[in-house]
Structure 1
């Protein structure tokens, strides 16, 4: 069965952004360059994936049992790869109450890049439960949840120093990386877009302008944050994402160009799943700069993607 070439290419681009995000690409060039990538452009990646997820979940839900199969697949991928990465998030430290709570939190919200999968499954379950709500209602609910998460992030940014922790500690609490403040909002947009045929209803030129405006807003918010707080912490929620992520997805979904196979999507999936240890090896093993580690990890993971995907299928590891 043929696939949408533009959507698969977008998936690969978003996966590459995730690699750049975790490598902190360009951060050695200047604080501004690093900020514009790490807390700017590359933040498009996960919301973009979520929008596509919502779109295809709606499509799956139109078939008998399709929504349930989608949920089981996402949950299976999360559980399998959480087990593969267990040595990273369980560790070898003595187990006490605080440590047990930390491990439980990581299992629930996802370790590292796996938080995306941990958020996608419950967000998808919520969308299926709310399938009777009109698309605009779901989009409004998603917008409210996204703004609530952004407000929490803003509150942490401006909290008094006496409330401790640094801004970099925010991600530890998984406040802005979960199903409610990120997963559901962007998946709801994808779901509503599929239900309403937005990719055809909205002209491509308008979508391109919305994408450009969203990216510009993301860059502005990133620069303002740098000027106020310096190069610290993760800006998971940028207001411009609400425009840029759906616009990028809808532009790809408009395309009529087809791919004969799913190899590009396979590469994108494996780059996303296996890049973290490769980035760590490139930075700490080879001593490469952040940008060098980004490029090295991208090349290595892309080159190994298809063999690793075949091995995963042979071992019955969900991907």
Structure 2
């Protein structure tokens, strides 16, 4: 089996960052914690989408391949939504209307981290449609940027109405209107696709340019993170302008610098997926069992058990093929 190990280990690091978002580290150090969980860690999901986009050329150019791909993702989504059903179904709040809407949102947009699968399903499908309409690479690239910026604007509305109550306030604070396959999934999946198939992003293929773009992108992410911190506090956002620069640049750098090699299996890549999907179960248990441990200590426990159980899940998935 041929794999780019640099990309596989990058996926593993990205899964660690996702866990840090859901269980913030260094929580007692407000500013530093914010830079990690609402800055650096927010690069994880866009990078995941780009990495998925690298391998979907045959999917978006053949209807039968697309059907197989979507069927596989549909099974993954159904299985994990059933596993997590006790945590979102009938979890009612003070306002019944808001509670019902939140349940509907969970079912159709994905519970918590499972929105990523919906983002893949919708994003890949949208790219397939545009390819069928014979959209050129440059048009796909520009559309991706415009859609991402639209999502950024939608999410930033909260900066102006951080404490608005009622249904409107809940919608503003909800991720569903912005963090979805249209504004997040499609743009970054398309970036990954263009890295493999197109010639728009591959022009940035030399080491100095990629490194410089990574630095610029990360600086922009931190500037926006710090601004948000002083405006409304440690509220996490998914959209940062710097993501448009940093995420494609780091994938370009790793994909060009490190070539594919022969390996026995894709365990590292599977482990990153396993950690991503299973860690909330561990998180709920750790928070319930060790409430006084502190967030950083809880993070260490969550990672330990996620890696341990994730390895077992990989073994089970060899036969079942329903988890990832």
TM-score of the pair, normalised by structure 1: 0.90
**Which residue in 1 is equivalent to 2:87?**
88
Cα distance, 1:69 vs structure 2: 2.2
Deviates most, 139-148 or 66-75? 66-75
How far apart, in 2, do the equivalents of 1:217 and 1:168 lie?
28
Cα distance, 1:318 vs structure 2: 3.3
Q: Does the aligned pair in 2 maintain the 1:168–1:234 contact within 8 Å?
A: no
**Which residue in 1 is equivalent to 2:72?**
73
Cα distance, 1:173 vs structure 2: 4.9
How far apart, in 2, do the equivalents of 1:157 and 1:8 lie?
36
Cα 1:111–1:259 shift into 2, 3 Å: farther
**Which residue in 2 is equivalent to 1:108?**
108
Cα distance, 1:16 vs structure 2: 0.9
TM-score of the pair, normalised by structure 2: 0.89
Q: Does the aligned pair in 2 maintain the 1:135–1:191 contact within 8 Å?
A: no
Deviates most, 100-109 or 38-47? 100-109
Cα distance, 1:289 vs structure 2: 1.6
**Aligned: 1:14 with 2:14:** yes
Within a 5 Å distance, the mapping from 1:171-186 to structure 2 comes to 171-186=173-188
Aligned residue among 189, 208, 212 for 1:205: 208
**Which residue in 1 is equivalent to 2:145?**
143
1:206-259: CA deviations, max 9, x gaps?
11111111111111110111112222x221101111111111222222221425
- Give the unaligned 5+ runs of structure 2: none
Cα distance, 1:136 vs structure 2: 1.6
**Which residue in 2 is equivalent to 1:312?**
317
How far apart, in 2, do the equivalents of 1:301 and 1:213 lie?
33
**Which residue in 2 is equivalent to 1:267?**
271
How far apart, in 2, do the equivalents of 1:97 and 1:64 lie?
40
Cα 1:237–1:315 shift into 2, 3 Å: same
How far apart, in 1, do the equivalents of 2:161 and 2:96 lie?
29
- Give the unaligned 5+ runs of structure 1: none
How far apart, in 2, do the equivalents of 1:82 and 1:317 lie?
12
Deviates most, 156-165 or 15-24? 156-165
Within a 5 Å distance, the mapping from 1:29-178 to structure 2 comes to 30-62=29-61, 65-91=64-90, 93=92, 99-131=99-131, 132-159=134-161, 161=163, 170-178=172-180
**Which residue in 1 is equivalent to 2:286?**
282
How far apart, in 1, do the equivalents of 2:180 and 2:8 lie?
25
RMSD: 2.5
Cα distance, 1:302 vs structure 2: 1.4
